Chains A and B, each alone.
Chain A
Amino acid sequence: MIKVQNLVKSFPKRDGSFFHAVDDISFEAQDGEIVCLLGVNGAGKTTAMRVLSTVLKASSGSAEVQGWDINKSPQKVRENLGFLSGDTGLYNRLRASEFIRYFGRLYSLDEALISQRINEMADLLDMHEFLDKKIDFLSTGMKQKVSIVRSIIHDPPVMIFDEPTGGLDILTARNIVSFIRSCKERGKCVLFSTHIMREAERLADRIVMIHRGKLLAEGSLEELRDSTSEHDLDDIFIHYVNQTAMESEVLAHEF
C-alpha cells in the first residue's frame, strides 16, 4: 500500500524563492486497489510520483510504500516498487532478454528465478519471438512489453504508472490498460497518473485530483458525483477547479 502525508516538493527558483510543485498532498492507496492521480499537465503528478519512487527527495511531509518510509529507507521502497512511465527509454544496444535480466540482477534475484519470470511473462504477453532481438530493432509495442516485464520482474507489491499510455497508439495503450487491471487482480496496490478523464473513469477505484500542486478532491467516482451533482468526470474536475479559484479569491479579499 501507499500512504502519503502532507507531502511537499519545492524547487528553488532563480530569484531565490521556491516553486511548490507538490504542495501539501495526502492520500492513500490500498492493496488490490487502483488509485488515479488526475490532473492537467504541470499539476504535479509526475513530481509526486518521482518523490514516491525516491528519484526525488521530499522537501517535507512523508510517504510510505509498503510500510517503508521514502526518506528513511529509500532502498526498501525501491525493492517494493515497480515503476513504469509512458516515455521510458530502453538500452537500445541490449537484447530484450538482457535488458530484463539486468534489472532482475539489480533487484538481486537469482538467475534461475529471472529466467523463470521472463518465461512466464513472455508466455503471457506473447514475447518469445523478439526476446533475443536487440531493442533497437523492436517496434514501439514490443518495447512497451519489454518495459512492462522490466517493471514487474521483481514481483513488487506496489506498482506506480506515470502517464503510462502517453504517446502510445490505441493498440499499445490497450496492452498497458489490461496490464494495470491484471496487477489489481493479483492484489497489487496500483497508483497511476493521467490527464485523460476517460482513462481515469474506466480504470480507477478511487480518484485523487490535483491542481497546481494542491489536492482538489479525493474519492470514488460515485462519491465525487454525489458531492458535486455533476455526472461527467470532466465537469466534476472543472467544478473543483472553479471552486478553489473562488475560495482563493475570497481569501484574498478577507486578508
Chain B
Amino acid sequence: MNFKKVKVVFFKEFMEVMRDKRTVFTVMVLPVILYPVLIIGLNTIMMRQAGVLEEKGATVAVSDSISSASSQAIITDLSQIEHYTIIPAAENAQSLYESKDIQAIISIADSVSASGLHSFKAYIQYDAANERGQLIYSKLRQSLKSSEKRLIQEQLEIRSIDTGILSLISITELDTSSSQRRMGMLLGTFLPYIMIMMLLGGASVVAADLVAGEKERKTLETLLVAAIGRKEIVIGKYLTIITMGMLNLIINLFSVSFSLKFMLSNAGINMEGAQMPLKAIFILLAAMLPLATLFSAILLSISTFSRNMKEARSYEQPLLFISMMLGMISFLPAIEMNNLMSLIPVVNIALLFKAVMVEDYQLSHLIITIISTLVLDVAAIWGSIRLFNAEGILFRTEDDSGSLKSVKKNKRNFFSPYYGLIYFSIALVALFYLGSYMQSKELYKGLLYTQIFIILLPVVLLLRLLKQDLNSTLRLKAPKVLDTLLVIFMAIPGAILAAIIGQLINRIFPFPSQYLENLSQLFKLDIPLWQSFLVIAVAPGICEEILFRGLMPRFFERYGMRMNIIITALLFAAFHLDPFRFVPVFLLGLLLGYQTLKSGSIYLSMLSHTVNNSLAVFIMHFAKAPWMKYLGTSEELHYWLAAPAVIILSIAIYLFHKHTGGNECVES
C-alpha cells in the first residue's frame, strides 16, 4: 500500500467535498444552528403555551349532593383557583361538557363508615387526552387535597389532637448525583440516537458522491487508468467518509450540549457547578470512531455497488432504517449494557453512550464494543476493496435486479439475488406469523406443519409455476456411496463442534434462563421417541434443506460457489429467528451448503442435517442414562470432545473434497 497516494486521494476528495455547498451546509452549518433553534425555540413555545393554558382557566360544573357547610367550603376553595369559574351543575351539565362549554364536572358525595367517620367522595370528569384537560385535573386535585388537609385539621382540633400528627414523616431530598450526572442521564437517553443518525447522515452525503457520483460523472475511468492501485483509491475515499462523519458528529455533539445546557439553566433546573461532560464526550468520540469506520465502509460498498447517486441513496435507506431501530434502544429504560449487548453494532454504542454519560460504565464493555465494531469494519472495508476490483460490479450497466418483464421472457431470470431476498423475506414473515400461530395451538403438530406448509410446499409450487425441473433445480440427484459415508463422518463431529461452540458462547454471553427453559420444553414433551425424531430431525432435514440448499443457492449462483455457501448459510441462520444460536447455526449452514454444492446432491445435506438434529434428540432423550456421563453433564458436553471432533471432521472434509474433484466445482 502506497500511503503517499492514499494521502493524495484523501486531500483531493476532502477539498472537493468541502467545496460542495450542499455538503458543507448539512455537515457543518445545519447542526450549529439546528439545536439552538430547535431546543430553545421549542422551549419558549412550550413555556408560552403553558402560560396560555393557565390564563385560559376553565369552567367547572360542581354538583353537590350534600350541601353541608364542609361541602360548601370545598366548593369555595375550588372557586379560589385563579382563572377558574365554578358553576353549579344543572341538568344540562353533561351536554355542556360534550359541547366543550365546560371543561370538567365534579360530583361531591359523602359516606359514613361503620365507625361513624364521615368522608367525602369527589368524582372528577375530564378529558385526559389533551394537555388542557390534564392541567385542569391537576389543579382541581390540588385544590381538593388542600381542602382535605384543612378538614382533617379541623377534625383534629375538635378532638384536641396535635395537628403535627399530619406530618409525622417529613422528607428531605439529599441527592448524591452530581448535576453533571443528571445532565448526563438526560443527554444519555436521547443523544446516542441523535449522534448515530448524525454520523450516518454526514457520512452518507459524502459516500454516495465518492464512487457512484464518479461513475455518474464519468470520472472513474480516468482515475482507474492513473498510476494508483485500487486499494489506495478505496482507502483514500474511505478516510474521507470517516472524516466527514466524525466532523459532523463532533459539531453536533458540541452544539447539542451547549444548547441543552442553556435550556436547562433557563428552565431553572439547578445546574450549579455543572460542567459540560467533557471527559464523557471524549470517551464517546473514541467509541464512536469505530462505528464511523464501520458505517463508512458499508456506505462505500453501497456507493461502489450503485450505478449512480440516486441508486446509492436508495440503497442507503435500509442501513439508515436498521441503524435507527438499533439506536432507539437508548430510549428504553430497562435495557442495560452487558457483554452480549456490547457485541451488537450500534446497540453497543447507544448503551455505552448512556452508561458513559452517567459515569457508570465498565472498561470491558468499552473494549468489546470497540473491538467487535472494528472486526466488522475490517470485513466491510475488505468487501469494499473486493467490490472495487470486481469489474462486473464496478462497471455494472444494466439493472440486474431482474424486472418482471425479463422473468416473463426467460423464467430462469427469476434466479437473481433480488428475488432470492424477496422470497426469503416472505418465507421469514410467514414463519413468524403463521408458524408461531400453528405452534401455539399444538407444538409438535405446529412444527411439522410449519416445515411442510411454510418451508417445503411453497418451494415446490414456485418451481412448478416457473416450469422448472424439480430434480435438476433442487439437485435431487443420488449421491455416491463414498460421499454418503463421508458425510456421516462430517455430520456427527460437526454437530458436536457446533454444540461446544454454542456452550462456549453461553459461557461468555449467558443465555437468559427463560430462553433455555423454552428450548428444553421442546424436548420434554411426552411423546414417543420416533415422533420426536420425525418432527425435530427428519422434517427439518428434508424441508429446510429443500429451501436452503435446494432453492436458495440458485438465486446467488452468480457470486460463485464460495460466496453462495456463505450467503445461504447466513440466511439459514437468520431464518431461525434466534440470536443466541446464530453462530452455531451459521456454521452448520456452511457445512451443509458445502456438502450439497460441492457434490451436486442435496440428499447429502439432508442426511447431514437429519443426523445433526437426531443427535440433539438423542442426547436429550438419554440425558439421564448412566453412560451419558462419558459424553457430558446434564448441562453441557465435555469440552475435550472437541479434539477428536476436529480431527475426524478435518479428515472427512479432506477426503470429501478430494473425492468430489478438489477445487473444481462439479456444476457449471
Q: B-contacting residues of A (Cβ < 8 Å)?
A: 11-12, 14-16, 50, 53-57, 75, 78-79, 81, 83, 85, 87-94, 98, 102-103, 105-108, 150, 154
Contacts and interface: CB of A to CB of B under 8 A. Distances in A.
A171 B547 CA distance: 63
A102 B392 CA distance: 28
Contact of B225 (A15, A16, A53): A53
A53 B225 CA distance: 6
A75 B227 contact: yes
Contacts of B412: 14-15
Name the residue in A11, A79, A85, A105 with the highest tally of chain B Cβ atoms < 10 Å from its Cβ: A105
A105 B20 CA distance: 23
Interface stretch (B216-224, B254-262, B304-312, B583-591): B216-224
B227 A106 contact: yes
A107 B16 contact: no
B4 A93 contact: no
A75 B9 CA distance: 16
A89 B225 contact: no
Contacts, number: 80
From DSSP, what is the main secondary structure of chain B's interface residues?
helix
A56 B391 contact: yes
A108 B20 CA distance: 27
Contacts of A102: 8, 12
Interface residues on B, range: 20 to 34
A65 to B, nearest CB: 11
Name the residue in B214, B219, B410 with the highest tally of chain A Cβ atoms < 10 Å from its Cβ: B219
A12 B558 CA distance: 9
B662 interface: no
Nearest to B222: A88
Contacts of B668: 16
Nearest to A78: B227
Interface of B: 4-5, 8-9, 12, 15-16, 19-20, 214, 217-219, 221-222, 224-229, 391-392, 395, 400, 410, 412-413, 557-558, 668
Contact of A12 (B12, B225, B392): B392
Name the residue in A15, A50, A102 with the highest tally of chain B Cβ atoms < 10 Å from its Cβ: A102
22 contacts: A11-B392, A14-B400, A50-B221, A54-B224, A55-B221, A55-B224, A56-B391, A78-B225, A78-B226, A78-B227, A81-B225, A83-B225, A88-B218, A88-B222, A90-B219, A90-B222, A93-B20, A94-B12, A103-B226, A105-B5, A106-B5, A106-B9
Contacts of B218: 87-89
A98 B15 CA distance: 10
B229 A75 contact: yes
A98 B391 CA distance: 29
A88 B16 contact: no
Given A88-B219, A91-B16, A14 B413 contact: yes
A76 to B, nearest CB: 9
A146 B20 CA distance: 21
A78 B2 CA distance: 15
A209 to B, nearest CB: 25
Contact of A108 (B4, B12, B395, B410): B4
Contact of B227 (A14, A57, A79, A85): A79
Name the residue in A55, A56, A88, A106 with the highest tally of chain B Cβ atoms < 10 Å from its Cβ: A106
Given A89-B219, A94-B16, A107 B225 contact: no
Contacts of B224: 53-55
Nearest to B218: A89
A92 B216 CA distance: 13
Contacts of A92: 217
Nearest to B18: A93
Contact of B222 (A12, A89, A93): A89
Contacts of B221: 50, 55, 83, 85, 88
A78 B413 CA distance: 38
B479 to A, nearest CB: 24
Contacts of A85: 221
B477 to A, nearest CB: 18
Contacts of A55: 221, 224-225, 391
B154 to A, nearest CB: 82
Given A89-B219, A94-B15, A102-B12, 20 more contacts: A11-B392, A55-B221, A55-B225, A55-B391, A56-B391, A78-B225, A78-B226, A83-B225, A87-B218, A88-B219, A88-B222, A89-B214, A89-B218, A91-B12, A93-B19, A94-B16, A105-B5, A105-B8, A106-B9, A106-B228
